[in-house]
Amino acid sequence: MERCLVAGVWSRERVQVQRISTEYTTVSDLINEEENTWKEDVICELFEEDDARRILTIPLSNCVQDDRWVWRGDNSGVYTTKNRYKWLMTEATNTTNRESTLQITTLKTYYTKLWNLQIAINIKITLWRTTNNYMPTLQVLQNRKFAVTNQCPVCGAGEETVEYGFRDFARSQGRSF
């Protein structure tokens, strides 16, 4: 049997992969087309209670249209990381709360320093994803209803979070950096 590196551990065993539901991939999958109503049971199953409540308050159109991606952050309608960043900074600047403004200034400084680091772009992106909790850990996937459990599939000793993956996993295996 071939050895493989999984999460920093050489192993001959395969890691159990969770089943991720891809049954609902578009908004139209959440609509009962015959009655032109939301599929409430599906929405309540897929989303947190507060999000489900908000979705169910969205009125449905009487005419059928294909799903499409639309970005309203600028006039082009096309999403880019750059115009998302501009939009976030503009929104943050519009707040009157002094604490929020201080936090946004700190974030601006952090991101400016991050993107100006002289390191590989994939490392910068990993740092950005980690900072914004966009790493596809089982905890994040479970919160988004894509995973059944958030336990580490390699050792089962803890929740698979960013902190666990980068810091605690090695300790749980009796290793240190």
Residue type, 144: R
Q: How many separate helices (H) and strands (E) can be counted in the chain? A: 8, 4
- Identify the CA nearest to 7 among candidates 147, 146, 138, 140: 138
Continuous segment of H or E residues that includes residue 89: helix 81-93
113 CA to centre of own chain: 23
Residue 77 vs residues 25, 89, 94, 117, 168: alpha-carbon distances, Å: 21, 18, 22, 31, 42
> How high is the pLDDT of residue 152?
82
Written as tens digits, the pLDDT of the chain (177 aa) is 444 434 444 445 554 444 556 787 888 889 998 888 999 998 888 888 888 899 999 999 887 677 677 777 777 777 888 888 877 777 655 655 556 666 777 888 888 898 999 999 999 998 888 888 888 888 888 888 887 888 888 877 778 888 887 777 766 666 655
By CB atoms closer than 10 A (0-12, 13-18, 19+), residue 17 is exposed
- Identify the CA nearest to 7 among candidates 145, 17, 140: 17
CB atoms within 10 A of CB 31: 18
Task: Give the count of alpha carbons within 13 A of 11, CB side only.
Answer: 13
Structure tokens at 72: 């309203």
Residue 29 vs residues 23, 24, 100, 172: alpha-carbon distances, Å: 8, 5, 37, 41
Q: What pTM value is reported for the model?
A: 0.40
